Amino acid sequence: MQTPPAPLPPHPSTPDWRDAPGPDWNWLAQDADGQWFWYRTEPQLGWAGGIWRSNSRHQHPAGPGTPNPDWANSLQTRPT
């Protein structure tokens, strides 16, 4: 029996602001599990779940990443 190939690791880089869903998506943050999200309103820390919180209408997936123990310091504001 052959072992299935290991999945490719997610790309660890920070998403590019040019890929934001629109001009009013002004925040980008990474959850503890490595997932990146764009935000239309400034998100709040959700310590218990290792995630940033915002109304789902104001949150959009930005891409995978690697788990980040420093996730609580990942919040970025759109560069001007």
Compute mean pLDDT per 10 residues along the chain, 80 residues long, and list them. 59 85 97 97 92 94 94 94
CB 29 within 8 A of CB 42: no
Which pTM was predicted? 0.81
pLDDT score recorded for residue 47: 81
Cα(71)–Cα(21) distance, rounded to whole angstroms?
A: 22
Distance, in Å, from the CA atom of 63 to the CA atom of 80, rounded to the nearest integer, reads: 22
pLDDT at 1: 66
> What residue spans define the domains of the chain?
21-77
Tell me what pLDDT residue 8 has. 47
